[in-house]
Amino acid sequence: MTLLRHLAGGMGVAVGLTLMAGSALAQDCTTKIGTVLPTSVDWGRPIAETAQFAVDQVNAAGGAGGCKIEMVLRDTQVDPKVGVDAAKALVDLEGVKVLLGAVSSGVSMPILTSVTVPGGVMQMSCCSSSTAFTNLAEEGKTEGLWFRTFATTAVQSAMGAKIAQDKGYGSVAILYKNDDWGQDMARLIAADFEAVGVAVTASVAINDGQPSYRAEVTEALGTQPDALYLALYPAEGTAAVREWISLGGTQKMILANSLKSDEFRENVGLQYLGETVGTDTASPRSESADAFRAAYVERFESEPNGPGLGNSYDATMIALLAMEAAGKDASGADIAAAVRKVTDPNGTAITADTAGFTTAKEVLAGGGTVMYQGATGNVRFDANGDVSAPAVIWSFTESGTEEVEYLSLDEVDSFIASLN
């Protein structure tokens, strides 16, 4: 999407002159932001590309905090040690004050506790959902430096229980990734299944890098459940489901959004996924979400159907808006404090694009606040840096996924309340 096309559809020639002037000024300095994402897996690359898309739009508006923004990207490989090493390099060597990422809660947590909080760096995750972050924030251990644009595991867990209830499953076995995220999911989903009267016959941990998961799958299968719930990532998820199917397991499966993956669908085989459905958080049915979709399609010539894309865009945009509000040479703590100024429900509404960022510059320079309206709607963080979100139930198709059911934020909150 070119700058001229933005201007033609938005704020006109006057803004065009402002943007070109701002862009020229921003060339005099560059500010780096760090990004730690799993670019070595198929669903991780689009998340990183979407973050870069937001950076490009901000640079077209003259950058943030008076400087052009350079996004320095490092691959986490969905590995905590690799992720921590990458984050340390970005903070210690590159000097970043903002870190975007990670995806897996099991990677984000050690980065938060051993790198960003000790280093006074703001961390904004697009996709980590463990409730352990909420607990840490409530204890004051995130020091106000942690935010995420993805709703907690409580939303996906509740939707998994809703699927089991709606389909009339009497019993479910659980296979979960043995990390912070997977353990959190397993704990929550077991409680939610129980709340809707679905028995959990087994809850089995899956570790990374094993040559076979036959023992774990056999344990779950031996309990003869009506369905299988999977809180895994594509690599171990593919291996576990292949074992499950080969041993005669049911195709009635419920998936967390981590398996909303072309890699998983293709490697397992669509013919074995006919009765499988998944859950995910969703963008609201709003003008800002529609605008993001249109901009994404124009930029990438494909629909933003992968997990975390809208969340990645919003995490990046909000972080850069906060950098603008905090000003040049601001500390990580200053940038984190400025997040409230750019997600203010009483602030000036701005669009999530180059023109919107330019408007935000003018409002913030005048001492005002802005209300960011992005891919996931009007983002609101609570005191713990958490957000809530609508949800979607989806199934696989030959070309990707399709929506089975959409639940509004009110419907999600109502169902979660019914579980409690």
Between strands 277-281 and 391-396, the pairing is antiparallel
pLDDT tens figures, 263-304: 999 999 999 999 999 999 888 888 999 999 999 999 999 999
Q: Does residue 189 register a pLDDT over 50?
A: yes
> Region 113-124: what's the mean pLDDT?
98
pLDDT tens figures, 228-237: 999 999 999 9
Does residue 172 sit in the same domain as residue 44? no
Does residue 276 sit in the same domain as residue 414? yes
> What confidence score (pLDDT) does residue 16 get?
43
Percent of the residues in the chain that have a pLDDT greater than 70, as a whole number: 94
pLDDT tens figures, 199-239: 999 999 999 889 999 999 999 999 999 999 999 999 999 99
Does residue 177 sit in the same domain as residue 205? yes
Q: Is residue 167 part of a domain?
A: yes
Structural domain for 248, as ranges = 153-282+390-419
Say which CATH number the domain at 324 has.
3.40.50.2300
Q: Is residue 293 part of a domain?
A: no
Are the C-beta atoms of 315 and 51 separated by less than 8 Å? yes
Nearest to 357 by CA among 408, 295, 305: 295
Q: Does residue 4 register a pLDDT over 90?
A: no
Nearest to 189 by CA among 102, 255, 274: 255
Q: Is residue 254 part of a domain?
A: yes
Does residue 404 sit in the same domain as residue 257? yes
Does residue 251 sit in the same domain as residue 215? yes
Nearest to 55 by CA among 98, 7, 109: 98
Q: Is residue 120 part of a domain?
A: yes
DSSP class of residue 377?
Answer: B
Task: Please state the domain count of the chain.
Answer: 2
Q: Is residue 221 part of a domain?
A: yes
Q: Is residue 349 part of a domain?
A: yes
Does residue 96 sit in the same domain as residue 201? no
Q: Is residue 379 part of a domain?
A: no
pLDDT tens figures, 318-360: 999 999 999 999 999 999 999 999 999 999 999 999 999 999 9
Does residue 216 sit in the same domain as residue 270? yes
Average pLDDT of the chain, as a whole number: 92
Q: Is residue 291 part of a domain?
A: no
> Region 166-181: what's the mean pLDDT?
96
> What confidence score (pLDDT) does residue 3 get?
33
> Region 351-371: what's the mean pLDDT?
97
> What confidence score (pLDDT) does residue 18 get?
43
Q: What is the pTM of this model?
A: 0.78
- Measured CA to CA in angstroms, residue 266 lies from 42, 45, 101, 238, 334 at distances of 12, 17, 27, 9, 45
- Exposure string over 146-157, b if 16+ CB within 10 A, otherwise e: bbbbbbbbbbbb
The conformational region for residue 69 under phi > 0 = left, psi -120 to 50 = alpha, else beta, is beta
pLDDT band of 27, cuts 50, 70, 90: low
The conformational region for residue 378 under phi > 0 = left, psi -120 to 50 = alpha, else beta, is beta
Does residue 88 sit in the same domain as residue 189? no
**Strand pairing partners for 401?**
396
Does residue 59 sit in the same domain as residue 81? yes
- Reported as type and span, the H/E element at residue 294 is helix 287-300
Q: Does residue 9 register a pLDDT over 80?
A: no
Does residue 64 sit in the same domain as residue 196? no
> Region 46-67: what's the mean pLDDT?
97
Q: In whole angstroms, give the CA distance from residue 196 to residue 242.
A: 29
Q: In whole angstroms, give the CA distance from residue 420 to residue 416.
A: 7
Does residue 134 sit in the same domain as residue 244? no
Does residue 139 sit in the same domain as residue 157? no
pLDDT tens figures, 78-103: 999 999 999 999 999 999 999 999 99
* Total residues belonging to the chain: 420
- As a dihedral over the C-alpha atoms of residue 185, residue 188, residue 194, residue 200, rounded to 10 degrees, the angle is 30
AA identity, residue 359: T
